[in-house]
Structure 1
């Protein structure tokens, strides 16, 4: 979804009001922590899960709006992001 909505991602990650609202919205924070804790198998360490969630989501959000990839079509960017995410999460291919 981040690839298809690159402009939204740019707005969501650069608008200080939205960033502050999402950061203060407890249900969003809990959801993101749980999601990434499951993905990263870090359910026993809330701090590690939260930091891992922040790092991974920042990497994906930053990648889709980075000027180095603006010329890539959505399918190419998406497939490359999936490959890299699988490697980062050490998922079986």
Structure 2
């Protein structure tokens, strides 16, 4: 379950950002995830709850935005969203 490892890193980054800004509490984390990242939204949400359970991040909310993946053609320069993964 790599979502837990991802959220542990998000937590570390959030703690660093809070410390750098003199923050005493983390209220929310906004995270953009590409649709082809291979991360499950529900698993990310569960992992978030686990890693944010204590300290200054206790009670923080996750604002998760799924964003389309974009591929670019090196020949014509057109960008498109792939419909599936091979």
Q: TM-score, normalised by structure 2?
A: 0.28
Instruction: State which structure, 1 or 2, has the greater radius of gyration over its C-alpha atoms.
Output: 2
The structure whose residues are more often helix, as a share, is: 1
Structure showing greater relative contact order (alpha-carbon pairs closer than 8 Å, 6 or more residues apart): 2
Q: TM-score, normalised by structure 1?
A: 0.27
